[in-house]
Structures are given as C-alpha cells and as structure tokens.
C-alpha cells in the first residue's frame, strides 16, 4: 500500500533525510531520502549500501530480538512506499508537553540544563549502549534528542546513526563476532561522552574570548 506523506507534518531534516510525522499514527515518523541526497545519484549497488533507511532497518532487525529495553533508541517498523519514495517508519520522539524538541548539541550549546544534569544524561546513555550491546556508529550529539519526559525530567534518545554505516566485511565482523562487537560498542559509547566534553570545552573557550 502506498502512503501519501502529509507535507504539513514535516518535522525536520538532516543531511540525508526529511522526517515527517506519520499521517495515520502521530506516535511514529516516516523518514524519506531527500530529493537532493547525493545517494540518489549513485549507481544502484552503491546506493543500497549507503542508504540510511536500509541501514537503520537492517540493524534494528538484527538487534530487536535480543534487546528488551528500547528507552534510548527508536524502534523501526520497516520500509514502506510513499509518494516521496521509500520511507522508513520509526517511533517519534516527542516532549511530554508537545513543545518543540531539541537535539543534544543545541541543548548543550544553549545551556538548557545544568552541567550535572547533562553529565548524568550522557553517562546514562553510554551505559545503556554498553549494557545492551548497541553500536552507535555515528556517535554525534546531533543524532541524540533531548526528550522532556516531565516538568523537570529528561531522557536522551538516539534517532539516527545506530549500527554501522557500511555493509562490508569489516562491518560484518563488528556486528557478529562477540569480542570485536563489544570493543566497538564500548568505543562508540566512549565517543559520545568525549564529543560532549569536547563541546563543553569549546563553549568555555568561546566564553573566555568574549
């Protein structure tokens, strides 16, 4: 069945995809490749290897059987046909009060939280990834949303960049060989923590210069 994306439900876009609220279920989003995406210019076989929708769907199906706690990632519900091309359906991350959601990069830059709140959230996220053996390949703060779950409570949710961004032999080893997988999981979890502290240092630096 072909779904027509309601263009007025546009949420946001990243480098590769436009994201819309699902017209039939507001708890979900549909992600479609941007028409300007460089991927669409590649030959079919390359396109399949780099298509974020396929990579997201592939990795989610790989882990969904063994992971039971989805509190810091979005579930994927598979690929569908839309009037804007192939779409990936996933959980929508929303604030409890319906206010506009920000990613962690913007939230830290804007100083929305205290340092200790931020550090607690970042460590919670890193521990979640390690405990559940989930690889955060593109471990950037822009791929993490700061979800407001109550008046003064927050949770970090990864909306993009899980698994591996390629489908080659090295990636296969990282995904399927226990010890190699664990090392990669840990390295990526440490990476999100260090990117957070790098941003903090940068912000402090800019403040000093003023």
Ligand X SMILES: Nc1ncnc2c1ncn2[C@@H]1O[C@H](COP(=O)(O)OP(=O)(O)O)[C@@H](O)[C@H]1O
Binding site for Mg ion (CB under 5 A): 14, 143, 160
Closest CA to 133 of 91, 76, 188: 188
Write down the residue that tokens 């779904």 correspond to: 3
Which of 22, 52, 82, 156 touches ligand X by CB under 6 A? 52
Q: How far apart (Å, rounded) are the C-alpha atoms in residues 156 and 71?
A: 9
* The two structure tokens encoding residue 159: 């909306």
Task: Select 31 or 184, whichever has its Cβ closest to ligand X.
Answer: 31
**Would you count residue 14 as binding ligand X (CB under 6 A)?**
yes
Task: Select 31 or 174, whichever has its Cβ closest to ligand X.
Answer: 31
C-beta atoms surrounding 81 within 10 Å: 11
Closest CA to 95 of 149, 144, 140: 149
Extract the runs of DSSP E, i.e. beta strands, from 9-140.
10-13, 17-22, 25-33, 76-82, 85-91, 102-103
CB of 87 to ligand X, least distance (A): 12
Site for ligand X in 74-103 (CB under 6 A): 74, 90-93, 103
Site string for ligand X, 106-145 (x = CB under 6 A): -------------------------------------x--
Task: Select 58 or 181, whichever has its Cβ closest to Mg ion.
Answer: 58
């Amino acid at each position: 069945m072909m779904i027509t994306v309601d263009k007025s439900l546009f949420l946001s876009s990243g480098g590769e995809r436009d994201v819309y609220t699902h017209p039939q279920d507001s708890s979900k989003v549909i992600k479609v490749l941007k028409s300007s995406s460089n991927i669409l210019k590649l030959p079919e076989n390359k396109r399949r290897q780099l298509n974020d929708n396929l990579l997201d769907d592939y990795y989610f199906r790989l882990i969904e059987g063994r992971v039971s706690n989805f509190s810091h990632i979005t579930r994927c519900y598979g690929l569908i046909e839309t009037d804007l091309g192939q779409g990936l359906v996933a959980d929508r991350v929303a604030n409890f009060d319906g206010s506009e959601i920000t990613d962690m990069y913007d939230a830290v830059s804007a100083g929305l939280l205290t340092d200790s709140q931020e550090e607690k959230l970042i460590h919670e996220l890193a521990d979640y990834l390690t405990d559940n053996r989930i690889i955060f390949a593109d471990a950037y703060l822009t791929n993490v949303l700061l979800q407001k779950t109550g008046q003064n409570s927050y949770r970090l949710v990864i909306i993009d960049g899980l698994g591996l961004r390629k489908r080659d032999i090295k990636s296969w080893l990282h995904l399927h060989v226990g010890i190699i997988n664990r090392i990669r999981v840990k390295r990526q979890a440490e990476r999100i923590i260090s990117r957070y502290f790098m941003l903090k240092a940068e912000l402090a630096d800019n403040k000093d210069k003023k």
